[in-house]
Amino acid sequence: MRAIRRFTVRPVLPEPLTALAELALNLRWCWHADTRELFASIDSQLWARTRHDPIKLLSEVGSDRLTELAGDRRFLRSLELAQADLADYLQADRWYQEWAAGQPDAPRGIGYFSPEFGITEVLPQYSGGLGILAGDHLKAASDLGVPVIGVGLLYRHGYFTQSLNASGWQQERYPMIDPNSLPLRLLRDQSDPARPVVIEVPLDGRTLHAQVWLAQVGRVPLLLLDSDVESNTGSDRDVTDRLYGGGPDHRLAQEILLGIGGVRAIRAYCANTGTPAPQVFHTNEGHAGFLGLERIREFLTGDHDHPVLDFDAALEETRAGTVFTTHTPVPAGIDRFDRDLIRRYFEHYQPLPMDRVLALGAEDYDGGDPGRFNMAVMGFRLAQRANGVSKLHGEVSREMFHGLWRLFDTAEVPITSITNGVHHETWMHPALLEMLESARGDGDTVLDGYDWAGLERVDRQSIWALKRTMRLDLINMARERLAASCRNRGLPSDWTADVLDPDVATFGFARRVPSYKRLTLMLRDPERLKRLLTDPQRPIQIVIAGKSHPDDEGGKALIQQLVQFADQESVRHRIVFLPDYDIGMARPLYPGCDVWMNNPLRPYEACGTSGMKAALNGAANLSIRDGWWDEWYDPAYGWAIPSAEGIDDPSQRDDLEARSLYDMIENEIVMRFYDTDGHGVPQRWVQTMIDTVAGLGPKVLASRMVRDYVEQLYAPAAASSRRLDSSPQAAEKLAVWKRRVRDLWSQVSVDHVESLGGETVQVGSQIEVSALVRLGELRSDEIEVQLITGRVGADDELFDIRTHRITDGVDQTDGVRRYQGVVDTERSGAIGYTVRVVPHHPELASDAELGLAALPAAE
């Protein structure tokens, strides 16, 4: 409906209340309990009706009420406090300022690029876990004072709104958002504030324009590019219409805008606000990967007063300052394009040579498709440092991308892992968080101002009473939404007023609905599930939610199957499907659950974060050991459903895993939950709550995750970047050296290896190994000789690998050197060893970086 033009009339706030506008524009309100209470106190019914949207609240509240508040001294005092608190939050030194003071390598800025951001339900710019994670990353960075600048797209229709038809089939709607009525401001030209900044990006022979909306997430700015501007013609205005909609052309246009336009938006933001330019660029998932091409282009053209570099040097500079996080262990989840499409879209992207662009995303390894351009592969080639999002996902990623470093063992593939985390102030029930407030502010169990073992000090009856309140909050939300859904489906809704019971063990299951997450595993034996739901002594109840991707008919069929089960009169008071899962539903959902269920097909859940949010609210996890639960599972925090990974028949595997699920619920979970003492308190259950918060709390925090990124990836990347930037020739020298090593590597060989001593030795003795290494034209300081030892597995492979560096070699004749090293025998059994030569340079982040190694020829 292009013909309709809109105006948004912003309310005129009486002078004493102008600070409300400032509070509404900084998204800190979405996790700051006191500020939320302040908004609620303006008009609690309207606050609920606007679904906790301060800007909507302020534009709908009557002027009478505003006049009244302008004279209400208690309100004005709370307003003043909230304003002062925000000012202090924005200005005071926080963790990063203290940490950086001792760190010469601390980056001045980090650009964090993501295709989606889930910060609040008011900004529907996310589809699921990836976006929520990005939102939590920004919030935690803000709390810690880390100088992050977020970059994303502003989708005019966001992600879709889900409802159901009478038969339970998912219906999608794409309501249009109006940025002017959201907590967003346009980025404007400093010298001419009437003019919004417009970013230009070359696209398929045209120029795409985008304006930049600024969302302020506490201390962190988030730049959202928006192609719906008058200077764009035709379909170019729709580039940012929807999240994950449309075909490959549309997706590619979005990704070009995000990556290339995103870097340009950061430059414009920094120039217009006097913010230092980021030294580190973080590609959160492959979709944002073109940011590396734009940075190469900047170095090629000498933008920002940087000396002009050639392509290889520009690539080194870019790699040094780029971090890439991969998020999917599902090969089909990797983002790929036809090479011809890339060629067409990048034709006019000067002066990048097309062959170099194409080579960055080429699947030039065993099993690769020569016709495809792979965004993950490009991500690894454009970033010197890369990671997965849990320990297990790190392992799976190293295997999945082994082809890029195939001369190395999978354990050496340079993809590390940082396990995801969640933002506690967003996801924890405020009253529970209050119980953890630490008067002392120190001690082993205190982190980020809360004592995670604090529940130990609270009497158990109070904990249990609070949990009942949390359950009741969820139930009230569920009843309201269910009634609305029934009306919408044309079904009677009178029965929904007393569905669910605040004293029944409450299970939650909510997430997107791709097939690997197995929404309907719980329906495997419907009669058994019915018995669990309706047990007269120890019943359970289940709250379920989740959206299926609009193109995924299979996912929609699963939702329908579940809805039809839950529609049955015999169970409908104990199992409910709530349409339109979003942050607004999720926030009361996690605190209200006693058990959080997750049954993905292992190992397809890269991390999973919903179970973390549940754990922070004292819920036990009941999950397949996948993602984060594989790493931190402990019987004190819940239950591990055994994974039947060895079983190839998927149906049989589902049967087995479902049976374990039912058994655990029936034999263990309800037994503990309903085992109450004389005061009605289930002591052992409350202990599980206390242990879960104390044990998992500090681990699952987004602040822990962001600190890990800062210390393990951002600071090393900033250091590499600074060293390459320290002289105009540093990057060029590195590039020249890499080329030289690649060209001469075929001359390198390990000619002979022998061990001095017998085949059988005693534990504790040493074996000396000697190797003859041919260097060809390379110098001895350009390589490293390594003695690799390990235990020998069934297929003659080494595991428990150790790498010893052998430094001193002795020249023999003809460019051959003899290197000698020692193998320690600490354990008995078969010890294997080999000698390997790898390139050596102080600017390499890992032995495997160049993918080059020389090993003895097989005998």
Instruction: Give me the residues that bind ligand PLP (CB under 6 A), please.
Output: 128-129, 132, 511, 581-583, 586, 608-610, 613
Nearer to ligand PLP, 143 or 582 (CB): 582
Q: How far is the CB of 593 from ligand PLP (least distance, A)?
A: 13
Residue 202: phi and psi, rounded to 5, are: -75, 140
Q: How far is the CB of 117 from ligand PLP (least distance, A)?
A: 13
> Residue for token digits 């969302």?
215
Closest CA to 780 of 753, 751, 818, 752: 818
Nearer to ligand PLP, 252 or 607 (CB): 607
Dig out the tokens for 298 from the structure. 């900047």
Q: How far is the CB of 578 from ligand PLP (least distance, A)?
A: 12
Dig out the tokens for 47 from the structure. 């606050």
Dig out the tokens for 471 from the structure. 């359950």
Say if residues 70 and 15 touch (Cβ distance below 8 Å). yes
Give the DSSP letter string of 579-601: SS--HHHHHHHHHH-SEEEE---
Q: How far is the CB of 272 from ligand PLP (least distance, A)?
A: 33
Nearer to ligand PLP, 128 or 851 (CB): 128
Q: How far is the CB of 432 from ligand PLP (least distance, A)?
A: 17
**Using CA atoms, how far apart are residues 214 and 179, in angstroms rounded to an integer?**
10
Closest CA to 275 of 317, 214, 322, 319: 214
Say if residues 418 and 705 touch (Cβ distance below 8 Å). yes
Residue 815: phi and psi, rounded to 5, are: 70, 20
Nearer to ligand PLP, 387 or 609 (CB): 609
Nearer to ligand PLP, 131 or 262 (CB): 131
Bridge-partner residues for 595, per DSSP? 507, 620
Q: How far is the CB of 143 from ligand PLP (least distance, A)?
A: 18
Q: Considering Cα of 98, then 99, then 102, then 105, what sign does the dihedral take? A: negative
| 3-state helix, strand and coil shares in percent for the chain, rounded to the nearest 5 | 45, 20, 35
Q: 704: left (phi > 0), else alpha (psi -120 to 50), else beta?
A: alpha
Nearer to ligand PLP, 228 or 594 (CB): 594
Nearer to ligand PLP, 287 or 836 (CB): 287
Say if residues 243 and 158 touch (Cβ distance below 8 Å). yes
Q: Coil, strand or helix: which one is 378?
A: helix
Closest CA to 320 of 719, 710, 712: 719
**Using CA atoms, how far apart are residues 564 and 118, in angstroms rounded to an integer?**
30
**Using CA atoms, how far apart are residues 249 and 203, in angstroms rounded to an integer?**
11
Nearer to ligand PLP, 417 or 609 (CB): 609
Pairing relation of β-strands 372-374 and 336-338?
Answer: antiparallel
Cis peptide leading into residue 550 (ω within 30°): no
Q: How far is the CB of 58 from ligand PLP (least distance, A)?
A: 26
Q: How far is the CB of 31 from ligand PLP (least distance, A)?
A: 13
Q: How far is the CB of 617 from ligand PLP (least distance, A)?
A: 12
Q: How far is the CB of 792 from ligand PLP (least distance, A)?
A: 39
Closest CA to 269 of 185, 347, 392: 185
Nearer to ligand PLP, 624 or 724 (CB): 624
Nearer to ligand PLP, 26 or 609 (CB): 609
Q: 34: left (phi > 0), else alpha (psi -120 to 50), else beta?
A: alpha
Using the 8-state DSSP alphabet, how is residue 407 labeled?
T
Nearer to ligand PLP, 567 or 582 (CB): 582
Say if residues 227 and 238 touch (Cβ distance below 8 Å). yes
Say if residues 556 and 475 touch (Cβ distance below 8 Å). no
Nearer to ligand PLP, 286 or 421 (CB): 421
**Using CA atoms, how far apart are residues 603 and 70, in angstroms rounded to an integer?**
57
Dig out the tokens for 838 from the structure. 């790898």
Nearer to ligand PLP, 591 or 608 (CB): 608
Q: Taking the CA of residue 280 as centre, how many other CA atoms within 13 Å lie in the half-sphere pointing to its CB? A: 29
Q: How far is the CB of 607 from ligand PLP (least distance, A)?
A: 7
Closest CA to 514 of 576, 586, 605, 590: 605
**Using CA atoms, how far apart are residues 809 and 570, in angstroms rounded to an integer?**
79
Distance from CA of residue 726 to its chain's centroid?
A: 33
Nearer to ligand PLP, 168 or 588 (CB): 588
Dig out the tokens for 164 from the structure. 């159901």
Nearer to ligand PLP, 393 or 511 (CB): 511
Q: How far is the CB of 511 from ligand PLP (least distance, A)?
A: 4
Give the DSSP letter string of 513-558: --GGG-GGGGGSSHHHHHHHHH-SSS-EEEEEE-PPPTT-HHHHHH
- Distance from first CA to last CA of the chain, Å, rounded? 73
Say if residues 222 and 215 touch (Cβ distance below 8 Å). yes
Nearer to ligand PLP, 279 or 417 (CB): 417
Q: How far is the CB of 615 from ligand PLP (least distance, A)?
A: 12
Q: How far is the CB of 577 from ligand PLP (least distance, A)?
A: 15
Q: How far is the CB of 614 from ligand PLP (least distance, A)?
A: 9
> Residue for token digits 């930037």?
725
Nearer to ligand PLP, 137 or 460 (CB): 137
- H or E stretch at 167: none
Q: How far is the CB of 418 from ligand PLP (least distance, A)?
A: 16
Nearer to ligand PLP, 128 or 262 (CB): 128
**Using CA atoms, how far apart are residues 625 and 482, in angstroms rounded to an integer?**
32
Q: How far is the CB of 608 from ligand PLP (least distance, A)?
A: 4
Q: How far is the CB of 312 from ligand PLP (least distance, A)?
A: 39
